[in-house]
Structure 1
Amino acid sequence: MIRRIPTAIGTQLGPSIQLAGAALLVAVVAATTLALLTARRKRWIRGLSSGLELIGVSIPTFWAAILLLTVFSFQLGWFPAVGDDSGSSLVLPVIAVAIPITTMLTQMTRESLELTLEEPFVLTARSRGMSDLGVRLRHALRHALVPAVTLLGWVIGLMVGSMVAVEQIFSRQGIGQLTLTAVTGKDLPVVMGVVLVTALLYVVVNILIDLLYLVIDPRLRSAA
């Protein structure tokens, strides 16, 4: 019985990593883009963005998944309702998982970017004739990303919980589905195995995040 646990977890780990990786990539790209577009803009633009972020972070992941499934699968028929046998079947689960992550990262990145845009080195870059977009991309964004990267460590833990509901709603294979089945069947060895694997992945991700600091902010290399 014990020997089947690594096989069971290994089989289900791939789909979960695929879902989590795609959702994280979508969230980071979307949050960075939205932060660049809304930081230090007109008040109504920032207000609209803040309102949407509040809605996005307040919506439970399972409710967002059911809403996406109802609209884009049952009503419009654009994406399959269940399964994980094609790329199109990954779209709705990725969006459901990415929504709360995107809203939190957008808020954090925008606030950090607005503070960075007031720094003296930004004013120096503007005085040299650099465009606003160039200043944001080449100078301000790198510094503004540090707090958002810090938030990613906590976000990974949030994703583990949300994937349980998403995998169940969309009938996808994965660690969340395996965990729910094991808990329902009172299969304690599998539950413990999933907890250990999840904890290991969490530690690895946070180590990678610490290394990412050195890439984003070169000043930390000399300090290290």
Structure 2
Amino acid sequence: MTYVLRRLGQAAVVLLLAYTVAYVLLAALPGDAVVARFASPELGLSPEQLSVIREAYGFDRPLWERYLESVFAFVRGDFGYSVQTGASVSTLLATALPSSLVLAAWGLGAAILLAVGIAVTATFGPRVIRRGFRSLPPLFVSIPVFFVGIVLIQVFSFRLGLIPVINATPVQALILPVATLAIPLSAPLAQVLIRSIDEVRAQPFVTVVRARGASTSWLLWRNVARNAVLPALTMAGLIFGELVGGAVVTESVFGRAGVGQLTAQAVAARDAPVLLAVVVFSAFAFVIINLLVDLAYPVLDPRLRGARR
């Protein structure tokens, strides 16, 4: 409990620093969201009307005053209102979050399965196949995400006609975005798994278990995998934290209304309240997921339970 409370205190400091840095950087940009949103000639607003709008959003007050007010508002759960749409930022996040969570969960699950398959084949497969599979992670990590998405759409939707782009069912609409996420995300997981499996296989206890007549599958799943999974678990936690904050490129390519697309629209409109809320939410997701990963370590490795006691 002391460890958890200490980590929660560190999380509060991280969230405050993330919010402060984002707030200062957004304030340092020339102009503001009101100018970007309402100063277009099509609207025909006068300078006096723009001043009234800026006053309504508080942009006419000193920076430190706005910062303190917004920090206390965030603590109360009040994220303000979007300059672009006028809607509550909390409502926008609550609407976009479920789609991003579903995509993140399925994308991470597919990436883990693909990474495990690559790592196991690259370690225990025939020699020629092992070399080929060990070269897959560098290849996957070097391919841009938007390129993967465009290629999958061209092949499976336009050429083969297997997955419709228009009027697709919820399941069909998930297949290509999940594959787009899984291919590049599996690369770091596979690299960490391959390296960890190689290191664990070189340990003396593996030689002893093999000398007792253990089969390759027994050695892999009962002895090697449990010790090699810890570094990959950390990597999976980081990846999932990133995905919860929104897969900006993937959601933009496939037109999914998630946190990533909300972020892209807020950046284009310089919608500071939405951007600040997304930054804080992403930092919160990273902190909580990493805390859960740290708490899972002693469950997977009894040696850490003994060290903790």
Using the TM superposition, name which of 94-103 and 145-154 deviates more. Answer: 145-154
Aligned pairs (5 A) from 1:75-90: 75-81=159-165, 85-90=169-174
Deviation at 1:41, TM superposition (A): 4.4
Using the TM superposition, name which of 157-166 and 178-187 deviates more. Answer: 157-166
Deviation at 1:50, TM superposition (A): 2.3
Say if 2:108 is the partner of 1:5: no
CA distance in 2, matches of 1:27, 1:174: 20
CA distance in 2, matches of 1:42, 1:28: 22
CA distance in 1, matches of 2:89, 2:167: 23
Which of residues 106, 109, 114 in structure 2 aligns to 1:30? 114
Say if 2:247 is the partner of 1:163: yes
CA contact (8 A) 1:149 1:209 kept: yes
Q: How many residues align?
A: 224
Letter of the aligned partner of 1:134 in structure 2?
W
Question: How much identity, in percent, do the aligned residues show?
Answer: 38
CA contact (8 A) 1:13 1:175 kept: yes
Say if 2:260 is the partner of 1:176: yes
- Going from structure 1 to structure 2, the CA distance change for 1:188 and 1:211 (only over 3 Å counts) comes to same
Answer 1 or 2: higher relative contact order, Cα 8 Å, separation at least 6. 1
CA contact (8 A) 2:200 2:228 kept: yes
Cα RMSD for the two superposed structures: 2.0
CA distance in 2, matches of 1:23, 1:158: 12
Letter of the aligned partner of 1:218 in structure 2?
P
Residue 220 (structure 2) aligns with:
136
Which of residues 151, 156, 159 in structure 2 aligns to 1:72? 156
- Going from structure 1 to structure 2, the CA distance change for 1:83 and 1:140 (only over 3 Å counts) comes to farther
Deviations 1:127-170 (A, max 9, x none): 22221011001110011111112223443455468811111111
CA contact (8 A) 2:181 2:250 kept: yes
CA distance in 1, matches of 2:213, 2:220: 13
Deviation at 1:194, TM superposition (A): 1.1
Residue 302 (structure 2) aligns with:
218
Deviations 1:41-87 (A, max 9, x none): 44422220122222111001111111111111111111132677511
CA contact (8 A) 2:193 2:232 kept: yes
TM-score normalized by the length of structure 2: 0.68
Unaligned runs of 5+ in 2: 1-79, 82-86
CA contact (8 A) 1:81 1:89 kept: yes
Secondary structure of the residue aligned to 2:135 is helix
Using the TM superposition, name which of 106-115 and 82-91 deviates more. Answer: 82-91
